[in-house]
Structure 1
Amino acid sequence: MEQSNTPQQEKQQSNRFTYWLKTSITARMLMVGFLVIVLLIPLSYINSLIRERSFRQTDVVNEINEKWGDEVLIYGPVLKLPYKTYSEKTTYNDKTKTYLTETETHINYAYIFPEKLDLDSKLNSKSMYLGNFESSVYTSKTNINGTFGIPSLQSKDIKVEDIQFEKATIIYKTTNLKGIKTEMAITLNGNSYNFETNFNDSRNTKNRLEELETSHLNKDLFSSKIDFNMNVTYDGSRTFQIIPVGKTTTLKMESNWSDPKFIGAYSDNDETRNINPDGFTADWKVLSINRAFSQLYLNAMPNLGQFAFGTEFVVLVDEYQKSERSAKYGFLVIGLTFLIFFLIQTMSKIHIHPFQYLMIGLALTMFYTLLVSISEHSNFLKAYLVAGISVVVLITLYSKSILKSLKFSGFIGMSLTALYTFIYVIIQLENYALLVGSIGLFLILASVMFVSRKIDWHND
């Protein structure tokens, strides 16, 4: 027959377990580790909150750009040349019992790219805000000039007499028609021709190339090479790119934006690039040998978007990106803070209750909600200072009541200050964030190993 424990025996066992929790290093380590894992739950909710607010920022930035002007992509100008083709159609006549052959005429189009295309673009950039959300916008003034060669379709087996020079036009494709701020016209050998929109009833118009076309050109233009010149002013945002349709294409870009990112299929000239706090200048040169498309297409203009290049006007690590990067270090902050309390508890024999650890952990997670909410109404530095000082002061005062020592609580305060300062420095860095972070973590690990070397881990 099994003998049940008496109330006195159960009390003794409970006291032994409580004593083990208070005195055992292993028990304290398990308890601290468990609490760190538990605190990952509110940290995950905070990360979700930051992502949600970041998505809201994306929606607002898109709203800003739609009102100001979307991304700009230039494709052209291109010479559109109609020509005749013929086909035979045979029909059977029941009355005469004979076959009749008719010749049908069809109108097709050749699209001829320029021999030379030079663009000189000056962009006045600025940050635009809606509430606390920021987008990079610009006003660009671009001069486009170059030369069309004398059209020849003989390589495509098209006779000169079948070309309708009198119905030739110039095509210019671009995104962001809404952002164009000048009348669109092109000068060909001194003669000016206005562009009109070839309307395409498509519901998805964002970042889609729209087509502009001139009236019919003067037939006399085609007796020699055609020099062209045009100017266009855009209100745009985020990116400015061109497609290198010239046999030789050059792009010179100048802007007051200090954080450009050169994007696309071709890199700029490193020797002429100049980036400084007042802006940048950059030059590109693309030859026909550098691209995988020809100078002449029949029936339809190809989609050459993959060959576009230009500049993205980057808003460096915005407030939500900084908050998200800061929250990624939440596990590290909580773990190191608990480690400091654990070492103090182990070395000084001061008892710290699990509930007190939990309160300290929750205070550390509150830093991130304060940071996100305040940064929406101020800049990131001010938000970080307010949130950091609030949490450091709160935990320092709370640790004073727990540890009963001004020396220990002061050490806690200085450690948290150093930790938050270290994380802020990492967040601000771009190219050296990983290097500085790795060195910092190595030094922290070395410090912990040095402090804990005299602890008797076997006294359990």
Structure 2
Amino acid sequence: MKSPKNNIYFKIGTIVTIALLLLIPTSMIKGLINERELTQVETISEVSSKWGEQQTISGPFITIPYVRYIKEFSKKDSVEKTVQIKEYLHILPSELDISGNIHPELRYRGIYEIVVYNSKINLTGKFSSLNFSEIDVPLNNIQFDKARLTLGISDLRGIEEQINLGWNSKQFSFNPGVTTNDVVSSGINSEISVSPNDSSSYTFSLSINLKGSQLLYFTPVGKVTDIKISSAWKNPSFNGAFLPDRRSVSDSGFVANWNVLHLNRNYPQAWIGSKHSISESAFGIDLLLPVDNYQKTYRSIRYAILFIGFTFLVFFFIEVLNKVFIHPIQYILVGIALVVFYTLLLSISEHLTFNLAFILSAVATLALIAGYVKAILKSTKLTYLISGILLVLYSFIFVIIQLQDFALLIGSIGIFIILGLVMYYSRKIDWYNLNLEEEKVEAV
């Protein structure tokens, strides 16, 4: 009867079982990565809540209340009566020009970095002649004396100074809040003078000193909207419904220009009530941090099964080809060392750059495994062989992480090459007679 030590099927089963069990601590490390990333998000949210959240500037647009009358029939007393309902008319500008500069700052809370900014935004534009005849509302029902210019700002805590409105030749001051939630739910408003005369046109201008965190978005409410934003931040991401028509990004910062027409969005220049939403057309700048260590660490741990499986496969081939015995406990210790690499990578990357953390963690793990292999196999040649294979694996994963767009392609090619090498070096092994050969060796 063959002992477990010489039973090839028992050995393979043991190795596979150990490899699968090592996926448990690997999944726990994935949970730790998610937990640390969530802590980072909560820290950013905490700082942002005190400084200013992500900002979206919506507008400006004119809001005018009007009344309409409907007839209601009361079943209780069988009387038909007329009921007055108050609704709002919203008019967007024909021209909107926005220019501004963003001054980003890095804030620290513990080990985490948070991007906040101060911005100086100038808005100018024009409301062409307001053709009320196109709207099915009698002029007598429109309350022109209660007209307001509304500017949506997602977090009012970011406003630094009083905002004044230049309206034709007049000056008005903005007040907090919006008269209705039809278009925006947060913002400021100012009284304006509007005439029922269809030929009247209105120019406006205002400046905002606005604080926020990471994101600054705009909505293209103008029939023609021109936006120009500059900043000293050298890692911007342009997101949202529209990308810049022109942009320049360098080590000294960026300049971006957008030109959006009313034909590019899915709402008109005037409507009644809450028929349309302008938030879907928002776009702007995301002040990205250069590196996201948690995403890269998570991407690297997805290849943990490849590390564990291929390393165990190499150890198994060494047993078969060199007639040496490696105890299952030794497999477990090597596997744990491979898993500990990811905890080292996660913890070090929170204090250093990811690339340096990866190199330090890989070198430490390689040195640990190489020393252990040298001690148990007593062979310098086999130690160099295993260390070299692990070095190739770590280099392979490092390249995949850097080439994110080509990760699937490079990964597929790499795994194909690894499979080819395994098939090549195992081609002469007689698996059916492997146990029998081991018995002959013992008999001699």
| TM-score, with structure 2 as normaliser | 0.86
What is the aligned partner in structure 2 of residue 66 from structure 1?
49
Q: CA shift at 1:68, angstroms?
A: 2.4
1:140 to 106, 119, 124: 119
Q: CA shift at 1:134, angstroms?
A: 2.5
1:240 to 203, 207, 216: 216
In structure 2, the residue corresponding to 1:396 is in which secondary structure?
A: helix
Matched, 1:298 2:284: no
Matched, 1:173 2:149: no
What is the aligned partner in structure 2 of residue 399 from structure 1?
373
Q: What is the alpha-carbon distance in structure 2 between the residues aligned to residue 150 and residue 18 of structure 1? A: 93
What is the aligned partner in structure 2 of residue 93 from structure 1?
none
Q: CA shift at 1:221, angstroms?
A: 10
State whether residues 165 and 222 of structure 1, in contact with CA within 8 Å, keep that contact through their aligned partners in structure 2: no
The one-letter code sitting in structure 1 at the alignment partner of 2:4 is: T
For the structure 1 residues 361 and 83, does the alpha-carbon distance in structure 2 shift closer, same or farther, using more than 3 Å as the test? closer
State whether residues 111 and 301 of structure 1, in contact with CA within 8 Å, keep that contact through their aligned partners in structure 2: no
Matched, 1:360 2:343: no
For the structure 1 residues 426 and 64, does the alpha-carbon distance in structure 2 shift closer, same or farther, using more than 3 Å as the test? farther
The one-letter code sitting in structure 1 at the alignment partner of 2:235 is: D
Per-residue CA deviation, residues 233-272 of structure 1 (Å, 9 max, x unaligned), is 2221232212221112222232333333332223332xx2
Q: What is the alpha-carbon distance in structure 2 between the residues aligned to residue 259 and residue 188 of structure 1? A: 37
Q: CA shift at 1:83, angstroms?
A: 4.3
For the structure 1 residues 365 and 358, does the alpha-carbon distance in structure 2 shift closer, same or farther, using more than 3 Å as the test? same
Structure 2 runs not aligned, ≥5 long: 74-78, 435-444
Matched, 1:280 2:254: yes
For the structure 1 residues 340 and 159, does the alpha-carbon distance in structure 2 shift closer, same or farther, using more than 3 Å as the test? same
What is the aligned partner in structure 2 of residue 33 from structure 1?
16
Q: How much identity, in percent, do the aligned residues show?
A: 36
Per-residue CA deviation, residues 179-235 of structure 1 (Å, 9 max, x unaligned), is 1223212211232211010279x9xxxxx8413111343769986311111111222
The one-letter code sitting in structure 2 at the alignment partner of 1:171 is: T
Q: What is the alpha-carbon distance in structure 2 between the residues aligned to residue 136 and residue 430 of structure 1? A: 24
Q: CA shift at 1:346, angstroms?
A: 1.5
In structure 1, the residue corresponding to 2:221 is in which secondary structure?
A: coil
Q: CA shift at 1:302, angstroms?
A: 4.5
What is the aligned partner in structure 1 of residue 233 from structure 2?
257
1:213 to 170, 178, 189: 189
Per-residue CA deviation, residues 314-361 of structure 1 (Å, 9 max, x unaligned), is 335512212211211111111111112122222111111111111111
1:75 to 41, 44, 58: 58
Structure 1 runs not aligned, ≥5 long: 1-12, 91-98, 203-207
Matched, 1:190 2:169: yes
State whether residues 366 and 387 of structure 2, in contact with CA within 8 Å, keep that contact through their aligned partners in structure 1: yes
Q: CA shift at 1:431, angstroms?
A: 1.5
2:304 to 305, 330, 340: 330
The one-letter code sitting in structure 2 at the alignment partner of 1:211 is: G
Matched, 1:17 2:12: no
What is the aligned partner in structure 2 of residue 377 from structure 1?
351
For the structure 1 residues 376 and 264, does the alpha-carbon distance in structure 2 shift closer, same or farther, using more than 3 Å as the test? closer
Q: What is the alpha-carbon distance in structure 2 between the residues aligned to residue 89 and residue 310 of structure 1? A: 47
State whether residues 118 and 251 of structure 1, in contact with CA within 8 Å, keep that contact through their aligned partners in structure 2: yes
Question: Aligned residue pairs: how many?
Answer: 427
For the structure 1 residues 156 and 345, does the alpha-carbon distance in structure 2 shift closer, same or farther, using more than 3 Å as the test? same
Q: CA shift at 1:85, angstroms?
A: 4.9
State whether residues 4 and 10 of structure 2, in contact with CA within 8 Å, keep that contact through their aligned partners in structure 1: no
The one-letter code sitting in structure 2 at the alignment partner of 1:229 is: S
Q: What is the alpha-carbon distance in structure 1 between the residues aligned to residue 4 and residue 104 of structure 2? A: 66
The one-letter code sitting in structure 1 at the alignment partner of 2:50 is: K
In structure 2, the residue corresponding to 1:17 is in which secondary structure?
A: coil
State whether residues 249 and 287 of structure 1, in contact with CA within 8 Å, keep that contact through their aligned partners in structure 2: yes
State whether residues 70 and 236 of structure 1, in contact with CA within 8 Å, keep that contact through their aligned partners in structure 2: yes
Q: What is the alpha-carbon distance in structure 2 between the residues aligned to residue 126 and residue 227 of structure 1? A: 34
What is the aligned partner in structure 1 of residue 203 from structure 2?
227
What is the aligned partner in structure 1 of residue 28 from structure 2?
45
What is the aligned partner in structure 2 of residue 4 from structure 1?
none
For the structure 1 residues 276 and 444, does the alpha-carbon distance in structure 2 shift closer, same or farther, using more than 3 Å as the test? farther
State whether residues 26 and 304 of structure 2, in contact with CA within 8 Å, keep that contact through their aligned partners in structure 1: yes
Q: CA shift at 1:459, angstroms?
A: 2.7
Q: What is the alpha-carbon distance in structure 2 between the residues aligned to residue 443 and residue 316 of structure 1? A: 33
For the structure 1 residues 182 and 62, does the alpha-carbon distance in structure 2 shift closer, same or farther, using more than 3 Å as the test? same
In structure 2, the residue corresponding to 1:150 is in which secondary structure?
A: coil
For the structure 1 residues 35 and 217, does the alpha-carbon distance in structure 2 shift closer, same or farther, using more than 3 Å as the test? same
The one-letter code sitting in structure 1 at the alignment partner of 2:283 is: F
Q: CA shift at 1:451, angstroms?
A: 2.7
> If you compute each CA radius of gyration, which structure gives the higher value, 1 or 2?
1
Per-residue CA deviation, residues 351-405 of structure 1 (Å, 9 max, x unaligned), is 1111111111111111112222233333323332332222111110110112110
Q: What is the alpha-carbon distance in structure 1 between the residues aligned to residue 105 and residue 406 of structure 2? A: 27
Q: What is the alpha-carbon distance in structure 2 between the residues aligned to residue 437 and residue 88 of structure 1? A: 70
Bigger mean CA deviation after superposition, 346-355 or 258-267: 258-267
State whether residues 73 and 174 of structure 1, in contact with CA within 8 Å, keep that contact through their aligned partners in structure 2: yes
